[in-house]
Amino acid sequence: MTKLWKCQKCGRKFEKKNQMHSCTIYPVEKHFKGKEEMKPLYNKLKEKIKKNVGSFWVESLPCCIHLVTAPAYTFAAVYALRDRIRMHFGLDYKLESSRIDKFSQYSANRYMYSIDIKSEKEIDRELLSWLRQAYNLKHGV
Ligand SMILES: [Zn+2]
């Protein structure tokens, strides 16, 4: 397994030594300030991903919460909103689904998607399979 470089200042792990990044540490709790009701949904989401997709760790940045897997690949980003959790993830093909709020083509074979999750039942097999594909992309790139 690739040995990761760990930033001594913020503790984030990267594949490349001295990778440029922001060292700002932003606690997860701050993302949920005033949005505490969404915390159980976020926890459920993490639990289901761990169980159905694979292990990962969380990097809480000022912009959003990154879900990262080894070696140091962010396969999804989570945003806490007042009444929902917004999630961004990337796939290598164009996905057609009414559940996707928006997508952008990032590069020739990378599409970024945004999906809103309002309840636990929306963390279903379909969503988890997309996340599994996003998670596994690290092997292909
Ligand atoms: Zn750092």
Protein residues with C-beta less than 5 angstroms from the ion ligand 1: 7, 9-10, 23
For residue 59, how far is its CA from the centre of ligand 1 (angstroms)? 11
How confident is the model at residue 1, as a pLDDT? 58
Length of the chain: 141
Domains and CATH numbers, the chain: 5-139 (3.90.1150)
For residue 88, how far is its CA from the centre of ligand 1 (angstroms)? 23
How confident is the model at residue 141, as a pLDDT? 40
Question: How many of the other CB atoms lie within 10 Å of CB of 65?
Answer: 22
Task: Pick the range with the lowest mean pLDDT from 34-38, 101-105, 125-129.
Answer: 101-105
Q: Are strands 73-80 and 85-91 parallel, antiparallel or unpaired?
A: antiparallel
Residue with tokens 């996003």: 134
